[in-house]
Structure 1
Amino acid sequence: MIPRITSATAGVLLLLAALTACAGPAEPAPSPTTSASTPAPSATAAPTDAPTPEEPAAELTCESMISAGTVEALTSAGWTAKPKEFVIGDVDLTDGLLCFWADYAVGSDHGQLYGWSPISAEDATAAQAALLASGWRREDGPEGTYITEDPQYSMGTDDDGYGMTYLFHDGWVKLADTRQGLVLIEWAG
């Protein structure tokens, strides 16, 4: 069994994440200044239409997978993350990451679980079949296919009665302790 945080604590974490997401943008960075050793740009230089190159995607980590507000709330509570193997049935998701956040300084069964992995269509089919054969429930939605544990066997549920939930989409899968918790996973691969 995987320990979970209580619904009330999960609600507080979701509220913190929502409030953080609603915060205004950070102040813009100051413009660079020229120094005596750097020549000033020419006043006749024409602007270029070349697109700005995108930053390379950050590495998938326990901290980059979820929203910055969630990381701040969890670390402020003294929690840290430990990576775990991400396996669904017989499908080993070695390119993904499963993270269990908890206060490891205290002997407790409370924590939060977040996972993300790329997944092939064949592995997604096999993983879903394994979950459904174990009594999990399937719901299709505009975001993808949700596979949720039977709430009567769940250690904790969200406000809508959903416990641990996977969200399968084209080429990836997410996992959280509750269906509502999936919104905190921002990693897009």
Structure 2
Amino acid sequence: MPATRILGTAAALALSAMLLTACAGTPEPAPEVTGNAQTPTAAAPEPSATPEPEPASTDDPTCETIIGPSVVADFESLGWTSQASPLYIGSTEIQDGLQCMWADFEGPAGDHGQMFGWAPVTDADAVDLQEELEAQGWVREEDAAGVYITESADTAIATDADGYGMTYLFTPGQVEVADTKQGLLLIEWPKS
């Protein structure tokens, strides 16, 4: 191959390489760090609305609300506190029921204390619950206030002045319980 031709081919290749390099462009230089530049940050998330805890409803029974405030004050003056538990009638746990034991739980063990309870019940459930208690030997009495179901005096641990031990009072839509029939007079639930 003649020398001029080799030089021409080499020149053409060199020119092509220059053109390709020019078309490809050079990379942009990295920005200079000046110390005044701000680092971009992600936008702060929108604050989420955290719901405030709802205060205890005055419509929900508690050990302090099912009995009168003066009774609560009397118990507290004796150093008594309450312990809440589910309400059972016979073998049945009553939905939304509450049983409260008031006593001096920090003091020596003894038989000093008071028990109160309340629950909503349907009329059909009330009939079933009363029948179960009666089948276990509890005594039924009816009067204008409602249906009383009282434990037998033969098995009662403690009785009131009239000889009544633990007693349930069934009225339309609810049941109350106390460790004596007289104790039912202290229940003031639902509030009017």
> Considering the TM-score relative to the shorter chain, is it more than 0.5?
yes
Q: Is residue 2:184 matched to residue 1:162?
A: no
Alignment correspondent of 1:48: none
Q: Deviations over 1:56-97 (max 9, x none)?
A: 844310000001111011111011000112011233212121
How far 1:188 moved relative to its partner? Answer: 1.7
Alignment correspondent of 1:173: 175
Sequence identity of aligned pairs in percent? 46
**More displaced 10-residue stretch of structure 1: 161-170 or 83-92:** 83-92
Alignment correspondent of 2:152: 150
Alignment correspondent of 2:120: 118
Alignment correspondent of 1:62: 63
Unaligned runs of 5+ in 1: 1-55
**Contact kept? 1:91, 1:123, Cα under 8 Å:** no
Larger Rg: 2
Within 5 Å, give how 1:7-26 maps onto structure 2. Answer: none
Three-state SS of the structure 2 residue aligned to 1:73 is helix
Alignment correspondent of 1:87: 88
Mapped partners of 2:91, 2:125: distance in 1: 9
Q: Deviations over 1:154-176 (max 9, x none)?
A: 11111111110000000000000
Three-state SS of the structure 2 residue aligned to 1:59 is coil
Mapped partners of 2:122, 2:91: distance in 1: 14
Alignment correspondent of 1:184: 186
Three-state SS of the structure 2 residue aligned to 1:83 is strand
Q: Which amino acid aligns with 2:164?
A: Y
**More displaced 10-residue stretch of structure 1: 173-182 or 89-98:** 89-98
Aligned length: 134
Three-state SS of the structure 1 residue aligned to 2:175 is strand
Unaligned runs of 5+ in 2: 1-56
Mapped partners of 1:58, 1:86: distance in 2: 18
**More displaced 10-residue stretch of structure 1: 88-97 or 133-142:** 88-97
Mapped partners of 2:189, 2:124: distance in 1: 22
**Contact kept? 1:165, 1:175, Cα under 8 Å:** yes
**Contact kept? 1:90, 1:127, Cα under 8 Å:** no
Q: So what's the TM-score if we normalise by structure 1? A: 0.68
Deviating above 3 A after TM superposition, structure 1's stretches of 4 or more consecutive aligned residues are none
Q: Which amino acid aligns with 1:168?
A: F
RMSD: 1.4
Mapped partners of 2:89, 2:168: distance in 1: 10
**Bigger relative CO (Cα 8 Å, ≥ 6 apart):** 1
How far 1:126 moved relative to its partner? Answer: 1.3
Mapped partners of 1:111, 1:123: distance in 2: 29
